[in-house]
């Protein structure tokens, strides 16, 4: 009767990995219970998610056509476009979030083409993701979520969409994305670990040049403020649980729709502890979801979304 926060299925966003040129869905070793969907299994998966009462998904491609620029994501017949179209065709009423980034489509794994210092060339990346955003909109995406932490990315995407007839497409910005150690399983799942660059640039071995220092909190507010000035409609903090203070600070400061990403490492740690019998998975995941709500999250991207939906039904 006096509970201050509640969790519903409307708070949940289910991530889906889609691998091209495969016939069957395949399990992801570091993410127990999570699969790489094939393009043929995607429709069934999306329908199952909708039937469970989850209204929003976010798609990540596992490309077999990578290059230094991530150009396959700029084609209407490429995986990036095809998976959006197939998801919308399978469940027209479900909200599809398109991840706007190049790391899944570059052969080196960074979030854009590399500059002389081995980190992504910020301005060149902006021009490419501006094209990627139009492909996503044409393919039927409902929300675009730029995740590369490039300076000026929201302004570039907003201008590109507005001048191409897509002014109503909202932007969910990965405004506060830390250079975290919790992303490892995702990079295996999406095939975007940092690797060899065909251009023989001395590539930076991490993403600290453009993602945030975990020691910084005030910087998070500056990053979020800049994205809002450029036209962001919603803000995200990533990772989630280690940064609940940041989620609360962003929500309190801006009073804007604020999302959390319960990232792959957080999910994997919980699953591993549960398998050892050290934690009760069901009780712990529900507590974690409530912690996100208490901190101010309006939505939660989590690999546990289907599990949580089933627990809410109980």
Residues annotated as catalytic (active site), given as ranges:
177, 238
Other CB atoms within 10 A of residue 50 CB: 18
DSSP string of 5-62?
----GGGEEEEEEEESS-SS-EE-TTSTT-EEEETTTHHHHHHHHHHTT--EEEEEEE
Full 3-state SS string of 227-269: HHHHCCCEEEEECCHHHHHHHHHHHHHHCCCEEEEECHHHHHH
Q: CA-to-CA distance for 136 and 156, rounded, in angstroms?
A: 15
Q: Which residues contact 86 (CB under 8 A, 6 or more apart)?
A: 39, 42, 43
């Amino acid at each position: 009767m006096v509970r201050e926060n509640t969790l519903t299925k409307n708070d949940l966003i289910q991530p889906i990995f889609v691998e091209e040129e495969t016939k069957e869905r395949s399990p992801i070793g570091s993410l127990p219970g999570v699969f790489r969907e094939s393009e043929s299994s995607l429709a069934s998966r999306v329908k199952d998610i909708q039937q469970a009462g989850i209204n929003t998904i976010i798609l990540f491609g596992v490309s077999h056509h990578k290059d230094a620029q991530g150009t396959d994501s700029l084609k209407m017949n490429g995986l990036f476009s095809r998976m959006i179209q197939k998801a919308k065709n399978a469940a027209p009423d479900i909200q599809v979030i398109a991840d706007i980034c190049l790391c899944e489509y570059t052969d080196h794994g960074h979030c854009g083409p590399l500059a002389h210092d081995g980190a992504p060339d910020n301005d060149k990346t902006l021009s490419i993701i501006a094209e990627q955003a139009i492909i996503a909109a044409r393919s039927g995406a409902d929300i675009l979520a730029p995740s590369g932490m490039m300076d000026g990315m929201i302004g570039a995407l907003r201008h590109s969409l507005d001048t191409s007839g897509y002014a109503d497409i909202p932007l969910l910005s990965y405004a506060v994305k830390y250079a975290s150690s919790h992303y490892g399983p995702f990079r295996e799942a999406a095939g975007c670990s940092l690797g060899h660059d065909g251009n023989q640039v001395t590539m930076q071995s991490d993403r600290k040049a453009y993602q945030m220092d975990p020691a910084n909190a005030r910087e998070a507010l500056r990053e979020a403020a800049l994205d809002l000035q450029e036209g962001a409609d919603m803000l995200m903090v990533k990772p989630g649980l280690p940064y609940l203070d940041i989620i609360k600070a962003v929500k309190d400061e801006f009073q804007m729709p604020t999302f959390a990403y319960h990232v792959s490492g957080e999910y994997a740690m919980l699953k591993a502890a549960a398998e050892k019998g050290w934690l009760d998975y069901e009780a712990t995941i529900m507590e974690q979801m409530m912690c996100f709500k208490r901190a101010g999250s309006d939505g939660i991207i989590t690999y546990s979304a289907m599990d949580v939906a089933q627990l809410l039904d109980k």
